[in-house]
Amino acid sequence: MKNAGTIEIEGLAHAYPDGTRALNGVDLTVQEGERVALLGPNGAGKSTLLLHLNGVIMPAQGEVRIGGTVIEAGTVRSVREQVGLVFQDPDDQLFMATVYDDVAFGPLNMGLPSAEVDARTHAALHDVGLAEVTSKSGQHLSFGQKKRVALATILAMQPKILVLDEPTSNLDPRSKREMTDLLDSLEVTMLVATHDMDLAWRLCERAVVVDEGQIAADGTREDILTDAGLLDLHGLELPHLTVHNAAHDNLAGTIDG
């Protein structure tokens, strides 16, 4: 049996009811333990692709396999225990009376004993630095705190794979840094859809560019995120970190010269 943390996508295509084609034959493999940034302009198909990875959208054409298991009606429940999907808007995941209830919801639905649910809930909130807010309503937290609680709701299920849609969007600089550090500390397979090029550079060793529902480029962080022409072609920009380093290197060369 394949490693539980692998993602295999073959020939995945999807059209919405209005005829809009979001995916046009995507082939992608992510190995266990890899961290892959999924990049591309708005409307490229990134979010649609993510929603296929734990059966929110079921494949109509093509195949998605998690740990070698094909996602279909009979397997989607077990796959969802392996693949944790964190939405861009944390309010999509926070709907219970308290933060504790939100985080406990997944483990409870896995049928775990109450003691195990309690242990996982407290551990997940501790991991995201919010152990003190268990009794609060998620709706009364700051946006950055909501983002971390939404992540905790997934971590409590102890998935093998984390699928994240814009995990640093709308965060202030400090909250963005805290979220990046938190994600960097996790030892799971990650597929991260993001416009935050600095997050992609810091967190992921591989980058995949999606445009018009297809894979436009796939390579190492260094190959993809330093290719200004490629990024510009697909509505993306160089990470500030690479721009800063390039400017520093040019300045050093001028001084040395």
Structure-token match 């290719």, residue found: 227
pLDDT per residue over 100-115, tens digit each?
Answer: 999 999 999 999 999 9
Is residue 42 packed enough to be buried (19+ CB in 10 Å), middle (13-18) or exposed (0-12)? Answer: exposed
Q: Which of 63, 6, 48, 9 is nearest to 30 (CA)?
A: 6
* pTM for the full predicted model: 0.89
Question: 134 pLDDT exceeds 70?
Answer: yes
**pLDDT, tens digit, 9 for 90 and up, residues 159-176:** 999 999 999 999 999 999
Per-residue pLDDT reduced to its tens digit, 186-241: 999 999 999 999 999 999 999 999 999 999 999 999 999 999 999 999 999 999 87
Domain with CATH 3.40.50.300 in the chain: 7-82+160-256
Grouping H, G, I as helix, E, B as strand and the rest as coil, residue 137 is coil
**Helices and strands, counts by H and E, the chain:** 10, 10
Residues 38 and 85: beta-carbon distance below 8 Å: no
Chain-wide mean pLDDT for the chain? 92
Give tens-digit pLDDT for 59-68: 999 999 999 9
More confident residue, 2 or 75: 75
pLDDT band, very low/low/confident/very high, at 119 (cuts 50, 70, 90): very high
Pick the CATH number of 7-82+160-256 from 3.30.465.10, 3.40.50.12500, 3.40.50.300, 3.65.10.10: 3.40.50.300
Spatial separation of the C-alpha atoms in residues 120 and 209, rounded to whole Å: 35
The two structure tokens encoding residue 181: 């550090």
- CB proximity list for 94: less than 8 A, separation 6 or greater: 102, 138, 139, 146, 149, 150, 153
Burial (CB count within 10 angstroms: exposed 0-12, middle 13-18, buried 19+), residue 26:
buried
Q: Determine the pLDDT at residue 252.
A: 47
Question: One-letter amino acid identity for 161?
Answer: I
Taking the CA atoms of 64, 67, 72 and 78 in sequence, report the sign of the dihedral they define.
negative
